[in-house]
């Protein structure tokens, strides 16, 4: 039997979609250069039993499976491969449990991050991971990419909150990893293996997440610098001095100018960059004042800090406006996602400027300065082949620069197909071979997401 017959023998018709236009609309993520294939069928299960049925049908028909969350990925991870079954978990969006005593929750993978945040906030709790796609991306996708965000500098990344998972394996078996307890030293940490696995090891069908107490209101500082280097030096000194910012973001001059041209926020357009920082806790005000002093000492041309959280929110609004401001240009956007150890940030920033000049490309830079995770944003005319060639060369050089500084090719967006050609530049051969053996062990027939991540 073909895939459709296999699916129909196991699932309700409402779970199966064959209309090519609909299937197509679920067949790609937001990665710009990554061409996906053509999927055969879209399956939209509502629960774990239906995921098992879909996986068994794909096995019987010998068809590859591409798991999909909300399709906001930036690396081609949930792009279709030819003839595959797209398995979208977008209907699995129930919050199954919020446990205030044990400070955890259990959710289906299709729950949107901001919906979970809002639900746990009603119980006086906080789920920290906050990718900028917080209103669009799914918890399952966040787990599968180990998503980061703005608050990682204090709270960590998605990995730090995943206590356990339910996963449908390639065999159709269901395993539950981890547990509800805060402590456990029983057996191997398979939860950790699935976090960041980009759909190549199985379908995540349930996630148990750690929650924390609601965060105290932040104090906020902003600092303009007329060169990138002293901003980098200030960042290093802030950590050297033992401060613990809960947010530390940077946008450069090209971002300032584009944001100003679209939103008229009164930004300083002569500055080389704007550093935005927040602190939380009992001494948030004194900490932010000390951080502001460090910025001044390192040559900031203008520094301002406030204790009022509402005023603080307005100060960091420019950071949130950066991506939408560039989208308004109507050009192609290719965001980079490299990360380096924090103390290498000044060299990374200087190197990115040099790469932009060398390849004559528009390369505004913004990112999570506190994590050493930068998103240089290539802005270009996608219909101009000569410009596209220069953009791709600059993209390669940024990756090479990050690796030369002891960094990583993928800070938080994952590998997908976009970064796969560079994997060997970062991960040494024996380590990579072991990772591939782990993949083969979970999925001996290469059923899940072939050609992605590893």
Ligand X SMILES: Cc1cc2nc3c(=O)[nH]c(=O)nc-3n(C[C@H](O)[C@H](O)[C@H](O)COP(=O)(O)OP(=O)(O)OC[C@H]3O[C@@H](n4cnc5c(N)ncnc54)[C@H](O)[C@@H]3O)c2cc1C
- Residue 191 is a binding residue for ligand X (CB under 6 A): no
- Residue 366 is a binding residue for ligand X (CB under 6 A): no
- Residue 149 is a binding residue for ligand X (CB under 6 A): yes
Binding mask 266-305 for ligand X (x = CB under 6 A): ----------------------------------------
Burial of 282 (0-12, 13-18, 19+ CB in 10 A): exposed
- For the bound state, the minimum distance from the C-beta of residue 69 to ligand X, rounded and expressed in Å, comes to 3
Cβ–Cβ under 8 Å, residues 124 and 78: no
- Residue 145 is a binding residue for ligand X (CB under 6 A): yes
Closest by Cα among 440, 336, 446, 436 to 391: 336
3-state secondary structure labels for all residues of 340-385: CCHHHHHHHHHHHHHHHHHHCCECCEEEEHHHCEEEEEEEECCCCH
- For the bound state, the minimum distance from the C-beta of residue 131 to ligand X, rounded and expressed in Å, comes to 3
Answer for which of 140, 178, 196, 312 binds ligand X (CB under 6 A) is: 140
Whose CB is nearest to ligand X?
141
Q: In this complex, which beta carbon is closest to ligand X, that of residue 50 or of residue 412?
A: 412
Q: In this complex, which beta carbon is closest to ligand X, that of residue 132 or of residue 238?
A: 132
Answer for which of 293, 301, 323, 381 binds ligand X (CB under 6 A) is: 323
- For the bound state, the minimum distance from the C-beta of residue 297 to ligand X, rounded and expressed in Å, comes to 30
Does residue 100 come out as left (phi exceeding 0), alpha (psi in the -120 to 50 range) or beta?
A: alpha
- Residue 418 is a binding residue for ligand X (CB under 6 A): no
Q: In this complex, which beta carbon is closest to ligand X, that of residue 113 or of residue 253?
A: 113
- Residue 29 is a binding residue for ligand X (CB under 6 A): yes
Is 333 in a helix, a strand, or coil? strand
What residues numbered 30-59 form the site for ligand X, per CB under 6 A? 30
In our burial notation (b when 16+ CB lie closer than 10 A, e otherwise), range 195-219 reads bbbbbbbbbbbbbbbbbeeeeeebb
Cβ–Cβ under 8 Å, residues 248 and 370: yes
- Residue 133 is a binding residue for ligand X (CB under 6 A): yes
- For the bound state, the minimum distance from the C-beta of residue 342 to ligand X, rounded and expressed in Å, comes to 18
Is 298 in a helix, a strand, or coil? coil
Query: What is the C-alpha to C-alpha distance for residues 289 and 295, in angstroms, rounded to an integer?
Result: 10
Q: How many chain residues bind ligand X (CB under 6 A)?
A: 37
Answer for which of 36, 45, 69, 164 binds ligand X (CB under 6 A) is: 69
- DSSP letter for 274, please: E
Is 132 in a helix, a strand, or coil? coil
List interacting residues with ligand X (CB under 6 A): 29-30, 66-74, 77-78, 89, 109, 131-133, 137-138, 140-142, 144-145, 147-149, 198-199, 203-204, 323, 412-413, 449, 452
């Amino acid at each position: 039997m073909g895939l459709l017959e296999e699916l129909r023998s196991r699932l309700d018709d409402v779970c199966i979609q064959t209309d090519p236009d609909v299937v197509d609309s679920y067949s790609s993520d937001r990665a710009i250069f990554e061409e996906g294939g053509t999927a055969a069928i879209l399956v939209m299960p509502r629960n774990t039993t239906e995921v098992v049925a879909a996986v068994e049908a794909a096995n019987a028909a010998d068809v590859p499976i591409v798991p999909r969350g909300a399709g906001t990925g930036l690396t081609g991870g949930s792009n279709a491969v030819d003839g595959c079954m797209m398995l979208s978990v977008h209907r699995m969006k129930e919050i199954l449990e919020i446990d205030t005593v044990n400070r955890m929750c259990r959710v289906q993978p299709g729950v949107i991050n901001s919906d979970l945040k809002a639900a746990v906030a009603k119980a006086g709790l906080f789920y920290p991971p906050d990718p900028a796609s917080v209103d669009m991306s799914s918890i399952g996708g966040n787990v599968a990419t180990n998503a980061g965000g703005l608050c990682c500098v204090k709270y960590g990344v998605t990995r730090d909150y995943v206590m356990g998972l339910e996963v449908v394996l390639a065999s159709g078996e269901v395993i539950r990893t981890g547990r509800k307890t805060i402590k456990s030293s029983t057996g191997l940490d398979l939860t950790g293996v699935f976090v960041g696995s980009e759909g190549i090891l199985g379908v995540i069908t349930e996630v148990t997440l750690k929650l924390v107490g609601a965060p105290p209101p932040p104090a906020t500082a902003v600092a303009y610098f007329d060169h990138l280097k002293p901003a980098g030096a200030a960042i290093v000194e802030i950590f050297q001095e033992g401060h613990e910012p809960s947010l530390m973001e940077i946008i450069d001059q090209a971002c300032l100018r584009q944001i100003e041209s679209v939103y008229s926020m009164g930004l300083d357009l002569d500055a080389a960059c704007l550093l935005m920082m927040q602190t939380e806790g009992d001494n948030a005000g004194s900490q932010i004042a000390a951080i502001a002093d460090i910025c001044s000492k390192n040559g900031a041309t203008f520094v301002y800090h406030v204790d009022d959280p509402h005023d603080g929110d307005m100060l960091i609004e420019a950071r949130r406006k950066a991506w939408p401001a560039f989208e308004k240009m109507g050009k192609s956007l290719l965001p980079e996602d490299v990360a380096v150890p924090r103390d290498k940030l000044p060299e990374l920033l200087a190197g990115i400027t040099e790469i932009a000049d060398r390849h004559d490309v528009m390369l505004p830079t913004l990112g999570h300065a506190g994590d050493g995770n930068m998103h240089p944003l290539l802005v270009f005319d996608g219909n101009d082949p000569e410009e596209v060639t220069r953009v791709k060369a600059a993209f390669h050089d940024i990756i090479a620069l990050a690796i030369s500084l002891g960094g990583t090719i993928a800070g938080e967006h994952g590998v997908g197909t976009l970064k796969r050609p560079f994997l060997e530049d970062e991960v040494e051969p024996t380590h990579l071979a072991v990772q591939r053996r782990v993949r083969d062990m979970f999925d001996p027939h290469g059923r899940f997401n072939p050609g992605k991540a590893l």
